[in-house]
Structure 1
Amino acid sequence: MRNRSAITALLCSATLLYGCQESSRAAKALDLQPRIAELTSRAINNLVFIEGGTFIMGDFGAVGEDGVWRPYFPPTIEEDQPHEVTLSSYSLSQHKTTWGDFDTYLLANDLPFIVQAFTKSWERTPFDQEPESRFFVEKPATVTWQEAKDYCQWLGAQTDLPLDLPTSAQWEFAGRNRGSQAWIFSTHDGKETSSDMKWYMHDTGEYVPVGSRLPANPLGLYDMADNGKEWVNDWFSETWYRENPKVTDPQGPDEGTQKIVRNLDFSFSRIGVPESFPSTFNDEWTLIVTNTFRCALQSAFPQGRAEP
C-alpha cells in the first residue's frame, strides 16, 4: 500500500509539474504573439525605399585645383579603389535593430539571453528597461554576424518579405545619400561631426537609444555614422574592388574568412573582421566580435509588392 501511495503521489507531482510547464508555455505564447505582431508591423512601416542608380563606390576622392585626382584616404586606396556600381532599388530599415527587437527574436526561437565575452557567456535580463544599461530595449543590439543574418531572415519569414542584411554596396549607397560624392561622411549632412560629438561617437563607445543623437540623413535613415559599426552581408577582400571595376548589384566575394563591417569614419570606409579571434591576453581565450546591424528588403519594389 505504501508503495502504491508513493507511486500515486509521484504521478500526481509529475502531473502538477507538467501542468505548470504547460501553463508556463501558454503564458509565454500569450506574451510572445503580441510582441511579434508589434515588431513585424513596425519593421514593415520603418522600411525606407531607396531608388537604385549608378555611383562610384569606394574612395571616390576629389580633383584638386591642379586637375589631379587624389584619394581622400591614401592608406586604404588599394582596398577601397573606386569602381562603378549599379544598384537595383531596395529598402533599408531606418533604424538599427534594437535589443528589444532582438530579444523578441530570441524569445520566439527559444534561444538563450546571454552576454558573450571571450570564451564565456553569462545570462542577462531580457527586455531590459533600465536606460543606463548596455542592453536597454531602445539601444542597438550588438551581436555576431551570424546572429544578425539569422535575425533578418527570421523577420523575413514572419513578414513574408525577402529581408536579409544589406550588401556593402547598398549600405554605402544609402549612407552617401544615394551615392552622392558630396557625402564624404555618412552623417545627416555628409560633413564630419564636431570634435565633441566625434569623441562621444567614436572614443567612448557609448551606445544610445536608436535615432536619438544625430538627425536622419535625407533618405530618412538614422545612425549611419553613429551608435556602432554595422555588419553587412559581404565577405571582405582587399582585392575584390579592383578586380571588379564595373558591377551590377554586387554581392562581394563568394567566400572568405572575414565579414565586412561598415565604419563610422569616411562614408566609403569598410573593414573586414572575423566573428572571433584569439585574445592577446590569454592563448586559451577567444574574443567574440559583435557589432550593430539593420535589415534590408531585397526587392526592387516597396515592401515587397509586385510590379504594378
Structure 2
Amino acid sequence: MTPRRLAAIVAGDICGYSHLMQLDEEGTHARVKRIQRDLIEPSIAEHHGRLVKTTGDGFFAIFDSPVEAVRCGVVIQQNLTGRNASLPRDHRIEFRIGVNLGDVIIEADDIYGDGVNIASRLESIAEPGQVFISGGIYEQIKHKLVCGYESLGDRKVKNITDPIRVYRVLPDPAAFNRARKRRESILIFLLSLLLLAIAGGALWYLLPQPLGRVRNQALTRLSPDVSQALPGRQSAPPAPARHDAARQDRLPVLATPVLQQPPSQQAAAPVAPPQPAPAVQEPEMNTLRGGTFMMGSNEDSSEKPVHHVTIKPFAISRYPISVREWNECAAAKACAFLATGKGDAPVTNVSWSDSKQFAGWLAGVTHKPYRLPTEAEWEFAARGGTQTRYWWGDDLRPDMANCKGCTDVAALEQAPRIGSFKPNPFGLYDMGGTVDQWVEDCWHKNYGGAPTDGSAWTESDCGSHVIRSGSWKNDPRYVRPANRDSYDTSVRYPTHGFRIALSP
C-alpha cells in the first residue's frame, strides 16, 4: 500500500523567472542554485522539514509541524528581502510561498494529493515576498507564532472544487494592527464626510430662508391644538427681538472671531506641572575594568587571525534581555512587537534592528548611553579573563551552558529562564548558550583589518551583523567565546536575542 501521512506542505516558486533568465541566463541560474544551497535547504533542515524536490524555479518541502513549516517560509522570505535590498528591482529573485495542511501520498522523490495541489495554488496567488497559508494551517498556528495574519476570505482556485480560506502571514506582529487601524481610519474618514454632508444639507435648508417662514413651517408641523396654544399664534407678528430669539434657538451657533489681547491684558493661564517620565526598571549591569586580551582562535577561518585587543572600561548586562524587559519597550510603543512567554525567559525572535530599537528606547528614557556591545567587548566579557576553549576550561562540562548536548534537559521550544546556569568569572550569565546574541559590528569573514581598540567594526550599509553565543538549540562548539556567526540585519529568528552595554 502506498504510504500516506498528514503533513504541512510548503510550495515555493520564483516570480518572473523567465524574465530573469532572459536578462542573464547564466547569472540567474548560478544565483538560484546558490539560494537553494545556502538558504532554502539549510532553512528547511533547521526547521525539521524535508526537501522533497526542486523544480528549477521552485521547491516543495514537507514538515511534521505546521508551526515549523510557516516559520521556515517566513525565514526564507525575510532572508531574501535582505539579499535583494541592494539589487535593482528587475534583478531581484523573489519567491511566492504557499503552505497547506493535507493528507499526502509520499514516494521517494515526490508527493501527491489534493494537499499538495492546494499548497501549489496558494503559492500561485501569493504576492512576491509573501507567505499565504490555508485555513487549516491558520487554525494550527494562530496562537503559536509571533506573527500577524490577514484574512483574505475564501478563494476559488484552479482545479480545486471547494473554495479555500486564505490568510496572509504578516511577520511583523504589529503589521496586522497597523493594517486594521488603517482600515478603521478610512471608515472613520468616510463617516466624517457623510456627517459633514448631512450638516451641510441642514445649513442649506435653514440659512437661505426668511426666519418667519422657517418658524411658520416648523409650527405647521405641530398638531393644531399645540400650535393654537402657542403664544402669539393669533396675534400680530412677533417683535424683532422674538425673531432674534427664535433665530438663536433654531440656527447653529457659529464661532465668533476673538481679537487677541495684548499679553499685558491677558489673564495668566494655569500651567500644569511637568509630569515625571514613567519609571523604567533598568537591566542589571556588571561593570568591567577593561584590559588587553587575545581575541579569536584557530578553530575556524572566521575566527582568524588571533590578535591583541585592548578594551576600555564599560558595563554589560548581567543577563540577556528578558521578555519582561522587552515588553516594557513594547508597551511604550518603541519596540515592534509584544513578546510571548514567561517574563524571566530571554526575549527571542529579535532582529538586529529590533535590538537597536530597544537600546535606543532605553537610552532615551534613562538618559544613559545604552547600546549594543561591540564584538570585541562581547568576547572579552564572555571569556571572563580566561583564554581557554570555554570560560571554564578546554573540555566540555555538563550543566555549564544551555546548549544542545550540554545538559540532560530535553530541548524546549523556548529557552528556560535567564540565569539558569552558572555565571562566568565576571559574574555574567548565559555568555554561551541560551540565546544567540546580537552585537554592534557588521559581519566580516575574518579579522583581517579589524580594529584593535575594542570599537565596533561597521559600515554605513552592511546587510548582515555579527551574532554570538550560540543558543539552546545549537551544539557545544557554538558556546565557545571565540565562536562567531552572522545573520541578516532585519530578519527575526526564534533563537536570536541580545544583551546591552553601557559606556562610562
TM-score range, shorter chain: 0.5 to 0.7
TM-score, normalised on structure 2? 0.39
Question: What corresponds to 1:222 in structure 2?
Answer: 429
Question: What corresponds to 2:315 in structure 1?
Answer: 91
Higher relative contact order (CA 8 A, sep 6+): 1
The 1-side partners of 2:465 and 2:302 are apart by: 18
The 2-side partners of 1:89 and 1:52 are apart by: 4
The 2-side partners of 1:107 and 1:227 are apart by: 25
The sequence identity of aligned pairs, in percent, is 24
**Deviation sequence 1:189-214 (CA, Å, 0-9, x none):** 675232896436699364011102x1
Question: What corresponds to 1:254 in structure 2?
Answer: 459
Residues 162 and 138 of structure 1: is their aligned pair in 2 closer, same or farther, counting only changes over 3 Å? same
**Deviation sequence 1:87-138 (CA, Å, 0-9, x none):** 1010000011111111110111265645xxxxxxxxxxx6x6xxxxxx2111
- Does residue 141 of the first structure (1) align with residue 318 of the second (2)? no
- Does residue 269 of the first structure (1) align with residue 473 of the second (2)? no
Task: Name stretches of at least 5 consecutive residues in structure 1 with no aligned partner.
Answer: 8-29, 60-70, 115-125, 129-134, 277-286, 300-308
The 2-side partners of 1:169 and 1:296 are apart by: 12
Classify the secondary structure of the residue corresponding to 1:260.
strand
What is the CA distance between 1:263 and its match in structure 2?
A: 3.1
The 1-side partners of 2:367 and 2:334 are apart by: 21
The 1-side partners of 2:290 and 2:438 are apart by: 21
Question: What corresponds to 1:192 in structure 2?
Answer: 396
Q: Aligned match of 2:286 in 44, 48, 58? A: 48
State the aligned residue count. 218
The 2-side partners of 1:172 and 1:153 are apart by: 22
Question: What corresponds to 1:209 in structure 2?
Answer: 417
Letter in 2 for 1:192: L
TM-score, normalised on structure 1? 0.62
Residues 191 and 108 of structure 1: is their aligned pair in 2 closer, same or farther, counting only changes over 3 Å? farther
Question: What corresponds to 2:295 in structure 1?
Answer: 57
Q: Aligned match of 2:445 in 238, 242, 254? A: 238
Letter in 2 for 1:209: R
Question: What corresponds to 2:493 in structure 1?
Answer: 289
Checking the alignment, whether the CA contact within 8 Å between 1:274 and 1:289 is kept in structure 2 is no
Checking the alignment, whether the CA contact within 8 Å between 1:185 and 1:192 is kept in structure 2 is yes
Checking the alignment, whether the CA contact within 8 Å between 1:85 and 1:250 is kept in structure 2 is no
The 1-side partners of 2:359 and 2:377 are apart by: 15
The 2-side partners of 1:189 and 1:211 are apart by: 20
Task: Name stretches of at least 5 consecutive residues in structure 2 with no aligned partner.
Answer: 1-197, 203-274, 471-477
The 2-side partners of 1:237 and 1:96 are apart by: 24
Find the structure with the greater CA-based Rg: 2
The 2-side partners of 1:207 and 1:268 are apart by: 22
Compute the RMSD of aligned alpha carbons: 3.1
The 1-side partners of 2:402 and 2:381 are apart by: 22
Question: What corresponds to 1:109 in structure 2?
Answer: 333
The 1-side partners of 2:403 and 2:493 are apart by: 23
**Deviation sequence 1:158-215 (CA, Å, 0-9, x none):** 221110000000000000013x213x224x6675232896436699364011102x11
Residues 181 and 295 of structure 1: is their aligned pair in 2 closer, same or farther, counting only changes over 3 Å? same
The 2-side partners of 1:101 and 1:149 are apart by: 14
Letter in 2 for 1:77: S
